[in-house]
Structure 1
Amino acid sequence: MLLQLSIRNFAIVQSLDIELQSGMTAITGETGAGKSIAIDALSLCLGDRAEASMVRKGADKAEITACFGLHNLPLAQQWLATQELQEDEPECVIRRVISAEGRSKAYINGAPVSLQQLKNLGQYLVSIHGQHAHQQLLKADVQRELLDSYANHPNLQQELTKRYQLLLDTRKQYQQLQDNQQHREARRQLLEYQVQELDEFAIEDGEFEQLEIEHKRLSHSQSLLEQSQLSFHQLYDADDINALSIIQHAIDRLSELQAHDASLTPIIELLSEANIQVDEASQQLRDYIDDLEVDPFRMQQVEARFSRAMELARKHQVMPEGLYEYHQSLAQEFSQLQQDDNQLEALAATLEQLRQDYLQAAETLSQSRQKAATKLADKVQREIRQMNMSQACFSIQVRFDSQLAISRHGQDVIEFMVATNPGQPADALEKVASGGELSRIGLAVQVIASTNHKVPTMIFDEVDTGISGPTASVVGQLLRKLGKDAQVMCVTHLPQVAACAHHQMLVTKFSDGKTTETHMIPLEQQQRIEELARLLAGDKLTDTALANARELLGL
């Protein structure tokens, strides 16, 4: 529950510190005194949009701090723990600072946070029902939210949302594939021809480089053979004179002279090594000549394949060395396109199954809503019949329609129906209920729908507008009953409602002609009597008004 609210330089508030208690608290004051300022400030703490105009004139910033007790609030504690914002004490302090330029900062337990984090935490702490909540009740989505709030089936809603999102994502994927199908088919046909052509040629990895080498060798095979044979003859095979015999003769002559001059020794050693090298080179050259063959048929084969590789490379605008990789990439793309076509068929079947799963979840949620609708309608009808609508009949229609466009909220058409007079057929709220009747119905629905909420603090900002007399007493008792299990704050101008509260606070406004300030003070019993008398009779406190005030308080 909300324990304390501190406001600094917000709107016409210079400084305000409010201690709050459990049960029902009524907030009263003259029109224009600023009864809703505390609620506006608290709304900022819970993530509402900040504006520069909210900062008190002359101040450099506005600051609002709210302290909440977290006893018996496992969802709020769990959220704080998940966000690593939990303190040792079972309390939570939220602070919002707005600069005069309109910039805003937010903190939870001293740590800076985003506005979205404030909103996420706020849903576990406070529920605010504004002045125009009754008009909002005419909207279909608000009616659905109120019914879901009373039904208290978040697991069913989450399951439906999960299936809806999965269906939506799969449908988007299917639509993208389908939209590109014509382009893919044209591309697939082109690739089919290209891949088939390259498959027939079937070049292997590194083959072109080998073809190029062999093509050069075969193209010059005759000259290679002739020059190799001549070289072998000169090195080794010539009878009259060859390189090997010349070197050997030199070694023999110098060896005879070595005894006369030792400096010839290293020269002889070098010639001996040269002799060995020439001999080995001659043997390898002979092997090369034996293996070298002039094969016109092989030349034709290599020439044809080499030329075809060059032709395909030019055709596909790639380097001939990259023809193999290009072939593989086209084949992979072609395979992927075929898989996409198969995937399109598979996705169509998956979509239908996901739609059936979604409809099943939507129908389960609808059944839960229908059960809750009957109970909620009975309770609302009992309450409004005590609010000077004794003949009213209230019902909630929940109609499941599988033909509706899919929605994360299900396939239900939900409508609040009312008949205010005997014999009158029930019809939609906006067609039947007057402003005052709508106020009573709206308040009853909000209060009863809130009973299943796990939110510990509920605020009603002048939701009793359009209600007076005995009906106001019933509204007050309804809010007091709600305050037995939750913290309820109600901004009201009705003494009958204020008298039902466990506590009462008075909002006053003071102006010295230059500046204006708003104050909020808790009232003791005698002060409550005087404030209720003022609400009953105006500024002049008569004995009759005071007596009526005591009677309202049950004194």
Structure 2
Amino acid sequence: MLTQLTIHNFAIVRFLELDLRNGMSCVTGETGAGKSIAIDALGLCLGERADAGMLRHGSDKAEVIAHFNIENNPNAQQWLQANELDMQDECILRRVITSEGRSRAYINGTPVPLAQLKQVGNTLINIHGQHAHQLLLKPEYQLTVLDAYANHRGLLDSTRQYYQQWRSLHAERQRLRQAQEQRQARLQLLEYQVQELDEFALQTDEFTAIVAEHTRLANSESLLNDSQFCLQLLDDGDDVTINQLMKKVLDKLEPLGELDPSLKNIAQMLQDARIQIEESHYELRSYLDHLEIDPARFSEVEIRLSKAMELARKHHVKPEELVEKHQQLRSELQELSAADERLQELTVGLQQARDEYLSSAQKLSASRQRYAEELSQQISEQIRQLNMPDGRLEIVFHPQETPTPTASGLDLPEFQVSTNPGQPLQSLAKVASGGELSRISLAIQVITAQRIATPTLIFDEVDVGISGGTASIVGKMLRQLGQSTQVLVVTHLPQVAGHGHQQYLVAKHNDGQQTETSMQLLDESMRLNELARLLGGDQITSNTLANARELLISG
């Protein structure tokens, strides 16, 4: 339950600290005093949208803090534990808004995103707004009301999950089908291209090797002639050779090293050079022994080189990148070839997903129809007590020849009502007046509130359009609800306020410079005066006080 609400610099509230109790608490005050400000502030703690316009004039920031006792709220405890935000038996929500329009949210002192505020808020409190009777005219809201009463969250979740799975498969199949014609043309081209590259079968780094071999074969005569010339100069010639000259130099220089040791190093260098010349001579002779002029091989290499360059131009890549391009085309061909198989898989999977969805949706429909009858009966009984003695409401399901799958199932329920004897059932929008719609909406909210496991319920001026004896019955209904849960009611009706276990007064003060709103818990004497004011206006008489005392006693 909500135990404390603290508000700083929000709207026209400078500071307000409100301690709340069990049972039914009523909030009253003059028109324009700001009876709903506390609820608006509480909405911030539950993740509602914030903006800088909510700040009190001249303030740098606004802050709202809500304390909840969750000792008997296992849903909230489990959520907090699952999100590592547990704090034993208390949950503290805090929201800060700055003058720049930024906001920060906290749960038990830990910064959190707004989505988490909303999630935990659903386990702590349920707010019924003054415009709920207008929402009741919308088919989707009627469905939400029925589902809230039936409390079949598991069926709703499974139906939504199967629907999303079916929609995902359906969208994928649509994409594949739409691309099928283009895919076939691309597939034929790829098959030809990959086959051509497969037949050519260029290997990694082969092109570089081909270029090198082609260069060697194309210049084989020059290589042969010039290599033979070099071999003659080194040591094979009939005339003077390099090796012979080096030998002569060493024959002269080595003895000189005995005369001058500084020449020994030069002689050693020449000796090393002569060894290198002899090794080069040997390697060059070996090269010439293996060098062949092979016109047939040259023709083969030239043809393969030309083909590689032709394919590279064809695929707009460098010849060195042709192997990588081949792999890319082969992978794309495999993917496109697998698309047809995927289409077949999707057809089977889509049928299975649809069957699973229909099975879940049909179970959901059966649950809705069962609870619709029960809810219709309870609403009818309640509205008869609310000065509609001949009122009757039924939840009607419209049959569909080909139901359209949706995330919420296959049903299109409609709330139909008859308010006068002999009048046929018709949709709420066609039959109910504003006052009747308000009473029907209130009856529905009270009934569904009893089914929702939320420890705190707030009714924000849901009694608009209700007066007199009907208002007294509404007060009794809300008080009865307050026996089992915490109920906070913002009202302008003394007949409702008189049934509260306690009552708070909202007042607006103006010192000529600033306006401020306050809220205080009334003792019995103050409460009598406030009920008398609600009954008779600012002029409080002995009669209005007596009437107020009767209302309070009857409460």
Q: What TM-score results when the alignment is normalised by the length of structure 2? A: 0.89
Q: Per the alignment, do residues 508 and 234 of structure 1 end up closer, same or farther by CA in structure 2, a change over 3 Å counting?
A: closer
1:151-166 correspondence to structure 2 within 5 Å: 151-166=150-165
1:29-428 correspondence to structure 2 within 5 Å: 29-87=29-87, 90-100=89-99, 102-238=101-237, 273=272, 276-398=275-397, 401=400, 403-428=402-427
The 1-side partners of 2:328 and 2:465 are apart by 75
Residues 416-438 of structure 1: per-residue CA shift (max 9 Å, x gap): 12222333322211122222221
Partner of 1:475: 474
Amino acid corresponding to residue 76 of structure 2 in structure 1: A
Q: Secondary structure at the match of 1:348?
A: helix
Q: Secondary structure at the match of 1:228?
A: helix
Partner of 2:5: 5
Q: Secondary structure at the match of 1:554?
A: helix
Tell which deviates more after alignment, 376-385 or 217-226: 217-226
Residues 217-238 of structure 1: per-residue CA shift (max 9 Å, x gap): 2112223233334444554555
The offset of 1:320, in angstroms, is 1.9
The offset of 1:281, in angstroms, is 3.5
The 2-side partners of 1:57 and 1:114 are apart by 27
Residues 362-414 of structure 1: per-residue CA shift (max 9 Å, x gap): 22222222222122122112211222222222221245758444322222112
Tell which deviates more after alignment, 107-116 or 122-131: 107-116
Amino acid corresponding to residue 516 of structure 2 in structure 1: E
Q: Per the alignment, do residues 307 and 8 of structure 1 end up closer, same or farther by CA in structure 2, a change over 3 Å counting?
A: closer
Tell which deviates more after alignment, 384-393 or 45-54: 45-54
The 2-side partners of 1:358 and 1:400 are apart by 18
The 1-side partners of 2:228 and 2:521 are apart by 121
8 Å CA contact retained: 1:149, 1:453: yes
Q: Secondary structure at the match of 1:5?
A: strand
Partner of 1:485: 484
The 2-side partners of 1:49 and 1:263 are apart by 97
The 2-side partners of 1:57 and 1:113 are apart by 27
The number of residues matched between the two structures is 554
Amino acid corresponding to residue 354 of structure 1 in structure 2: A
Q: Per the alignment, do residues 58 and 322 of structure 1 end up closer, same or farther by CA in structure 2, a change over 3 Å counting?
A: closer
**Long gaps (5+) in structure 1:** none
The offset of 1:97, in angstroms, is 3.5
Q: Per the alignment, do residues 257 and 125 of structure 1 end up closer, same or farther by CA in structure 2, a change over 3 Å counting?
A: closer
Q: What TM-score results when the alignment is normalised by the length of structure 1? A: 0.89
User: Could you say what the CA RMSD is over the residues aligned between the two structures, in angstroms?
Assistant: 3.0
Q: Per the alignment, do residues 517 and 311 of structure 1 end up closer, same or farther by CA in structure 2, a change over 3 Å counting?
A: closer
8 Å CA contact retained: 1:366, 1:400: no
The 2-side partners of 1:554 and 1:264 are apart by 134
Partner of 1:18: 18
The 1-side partners of 2:253 and 2:438 are apart by 131
Q: Secondary structure at the match of 2:56?
A: coil
Q: Secondary structure at the match of 2:553?
A: coil
Q: Secondary structure at the match of 2:417?
A: strand
The 2-side partners of 1:151 and 1:213 are apart by 82
The offset of 1:122, in angstroms, is 1.8
The offset of 1:261, in angstroms, is 7.9
Q: Per the alignment, do residues 48 and 276 of structure 1 end up closer, same or farther by CA in structure 2, a change over 3 Å counting?
A: closer
8 Å CA contact retained: 1:235, 1:282: yes
The 2-side partners of 1:6 and 1:384 are apart by 37
Q: Per the alignment, do residues 163 and 355 of structure 1 end up closer, same or farther by CA in structure 2, a change over 3 Å counting?
A: same
Amino acid corresponding to residue 199 of structure 1 in structure 2: D
The 2-side partners of 1:534 and 1:268 are apart by 129
Q: Per the alignment, do residues 418 and 255 of structure 1 end up closer, same or farther by CA in structure 2, a change over 3 Å counting?
A: closer
Amino acid corresponding to residue 488 of structure 1 in structure 2: V
8 Å CA contact retained: 1:417, 1:428: yes
Q: Per the alignment, do residues 234 and 95 of structure 1 end up closer, same or farther by CA in structure 2, a change over 3 Å counting?
A: closer
8 Å CA contact retained: 1:129, 1:460: yes
The offset of 1:297, in angstroms, is 1.4
Amino acid corresponding to residue 457 of structure 2 in structure 1: M
Residues 459-505 of structure 1: per-residue CA shift (max 9 Å, x gap): 11121122223322222221112111211011222222222221122
**Long gaps (5+) in structure 2:** none
The offset of 1:105, in angstroms, is 3.8
Amino acid corresponding to residue 134 of structure 1 in structure 2: H
Tell which deviates more after alignment, 512-521 or 29-38: 512-521
* 1:449 matches 2:448: yes
The 2-side partners of 1:257 and 1:434 are apart by 134
Q: Per the alignment, do residues 38 and 242 of structure 1 end up closer, same or farther by CA in structure 2, a change over 3 Å counting?
A: closer
Q: Secondary structure at the match of 1:293?
A: coil
The offset of 1:23, in angstroms, is 0.7
Amino acid corresponding to residue 285 of structure 2 in structure 1: R
8 Å CA contact retained: 1:472, 1:496: yes
The offset of 1:131, in angstroms, is 1.2
Q: Per the alignment, do residues 254 and 402 of structure 1 end up closer, same or farther by CA in structure 2, a change over 3 Å counting?
A: farther
Residues 324-369 of structure 1: per-residue CA shift (max 9 Å, x gap): 2222222222222222343234333323322222222222222222
Residues 165-224 of structure 1: per-residue CA shift (max 9 Å, x gap): 333333333333344434433333333332222222221111111111211221122232
Amino acid corresponding to residue 4 of structure 1 in structure 2: Q
Q: Per the alignment, do residues 274 and 74 of structure 1 end up closer, same or farther by CA in structure 2, a change over 3 Å counting?
A: same
Tell which deviates more after alignment, 7-16 or 306-315: 7-16
The offset of 1:299, in angstroms, is 1.7
8 Å CA contact retained: 1:2, 1:457: yes
The 1-side partners of 2:517 and 2:270 are apart by 117
Tell which deviates more after alignment, 138-147 or 173-182: 173-182
Amino acid corresponding to residue 189 of structure 1 in structure 2: Q
Tell which deviates more after alignment, 242-251 or 449-458: 242-251
Residues 31-55 of structure 1: per-residue CA shift (max 9 Å, x gap): 3332222222222332233344433
The 1-side partners of 2:214 and 2:309 are apart by 13
8 Å CA contact retained: 1:67, 1:94: yes
Q: Per the alignment, do residues 320 and 129 of structure 1 end up closer, same or farther by CA in structure 2, a change over 3 Å counting?
A: same
8 Å CA contact retained: 1:459, 1:488: yes
8 Å CA contact retained: 1:184, 1:337: yes
Partner of 1:531: 530
The 2-side partners of 1:143 and 1:258 are apart by 117
Q: Per the alignment, do residues 357 and 547 of structure 1 end up closer, same or farther by CA in structure 2, a change over 3 Å counting?
A: same
Tell which deviates more after alignment, 337-346 or 368-377: 337-346
Q: Per the alignment, do residues 504 and 303 of structure 1 end up closer, same or farther by CA in structure 2, a change over 3 Å counting?
A: same
8 Å CA contact retained: 1:363, 1:400: no
Tell which deviates more after alignment, 275-284 or 317-326: 275-284
8 Å CA contact retained: 1:373, 1:398: no
Amino acid corresponding to residue 133 of structure 1 in structure 2: A
